[in-house]
Chains A and B, each alone.
Chain A
Amino acid sequence: MNRINQIIQRLKQREVNRPLAAYRLVQIAILISLFWKWRFFLEANSIYANIPVEDSFFPDWLRSVATIRYAFWGSALVICIGLVTSISTLRKTCSWFAIGGITIMCIHQGSYNDMTFVTIWWCCLWSVWLAHRLDTLHQEFLIRRAAFLSRLIISLILLGGAAGKWTPEYWSGDVLFDIYFVDRDFWLFNYLRDNY
């Protein structure tokens, strides 16, 4: 903690724009999260093109593989621009396009409600707000609000996970056992299966 405090003190002394630094840090984290799904994107790109599923529940354009391509790459591009630009208007515009692109990912037939994209969407909402507030003079006040909002959003996401598990099938362990321990091919579960 002392080390973190020292770094914060140093940043203050150098008059670093901390809200802007936080904004950029979150954009980097969003980009990492997006490209964390790179394998998903590659496989989706190929499989959705070869095995389309026609379902009248989704509008045509939200079943199209082209929409996922544009939404994924478009979001990544505008987040990159928003990360590096020093032009406030451009940053604000990029933040709106980013949340638009991620919204599409969250309701597309091939990527809907993926928790990575939903979490990114909440981060984008935070980014839209902060992008519009970066021009205000009170950096300390703004960074406190930004920190408060981010904690609020993290709490909400964890609450979402907890509320849905308030059911006997989770308490008995049946669900997690079947999903993770029966046959999931991942080194940790393979190790646990072999040894316990």
Chain B
Amino acid sequence: MVDSSDTSGGHENQQRDDQQRDLGFYAIVAFVALVATWLLLMPWIPGIAKQSLQRFHLRTPSFPVWAAQFPIPSMYNFANQYKVDEFPPGFVMMILDENWRYANHFPARVITFFAGRYDFLSSQQDRWFTLRSSYRGQIVESKFHLEARAEGGYKLIRIDDVEDSL
């Protein structure tokens, strides 16, 4: 005869074993905790905000480091602005230099995503993009030259004299 308390004990032991073997569960919890810590520290630690702002401008020093940050949710983060010019910076002084618009996030998508490519790069003529993102007093500004290529499409050139106040 099987004692019901024995069965219950066996059941609990098996459950405990299962629990201990479930490394995947603990790995996901730890990963979530890591990402949450990063996000919670972002308003207070300028270095984290700097990393994130650079990520938004595709200016992270290396692609693998940039790509590794993709699981960090960043929906509508930072105040991101962009402007698109038909002339290189300094070539023509605009009378009213007020064509800045806000982008919801990742302002470089104005260049890389389908809507921006269609709106700004359908003409097959050179364009200059300026992106500006700010977060709690930190500002990153980046300039890109989209050079039209004879065979179609564009070559993206990062203009070196980027300004930031990180």
Contact = CB atoms under 8 A, between A and B. Distances in A.
B28 interface: yes
A108 B164 CA distance: 26
Interface string A90-101: 000000000000
Interface string B71-109: 111111111000000000000000000000111111001
Given A138-B18, A163-B39, A52 B154 contact: yes
Nearest to B55: A113
Contacts of A170: 79
Interface in A160-183: 160-161, 163-170, 174-175, 178-179
B77 A163 contact: yes
A119 B156 CA distance: 29
A118 interface: yes
Interface stretch (A11-19, A23-31, A121-129, A187-195): A121-129
Contact of A107 (B14, B43, B70): B70
A32 interface: no
Nearest to B58: A57
Contacts of A109: 112
Contacts of B134: 167, 169
A165 to B, nearest CB: 7
The winner among B72, B78, B113, B146 for most chain A CB atoms within 10 A is B113
Given A47-B114, A53-B111, A125 B28 contact: yes
A170 B76 CA distance: 10
Given A52-B152, A141-B15, A164 B121 contact: no
B63 A59 contact: yes
B5 interface: no
A33 to B, nearest CB: 14
A167 B53 CA distance: 13
A115 interface: yes
Contact of A112 (B32, B36, B70): B70
Given A107-B67, A138-B15, A175-B102, A54 B156 contact: yes
The winner among A111, A112, A113 for most chain B CB atoms within 10 A is A113
Contacts of A128: 24
A152 interface: yes
A51 B122 CA distance: 7
B36 A156 contact: yes
The winner among B24, B103, B114 for most chain A CB atoms within 10 A is B114
Contact of B28 (A110, A115, A149): A149
A50 B136 CA distance: 39
A43 interface: yes
Contact of B154 (A51, A161, A178): A51
A175 to B, nearest CB: 5
A40 B114 contact: yes
A53 B73 contact: no
Interface of A: 40, 43-44, 47-48, 50-55, 57-59, 103, 106-107, 109-113, 115, 118-119, 121-122, 125-126, 128-129, 132-133, 136-138, 141, 145, 149, 152-153, 156-157, 159-161, 163-170, 174-175, 178-179
State the 5 A-B residue pairs at the shortest beta-carbon distance, nearest first.
Answer: A164-B77, A160-B73, A169-B79, A52-B153, A178-B102
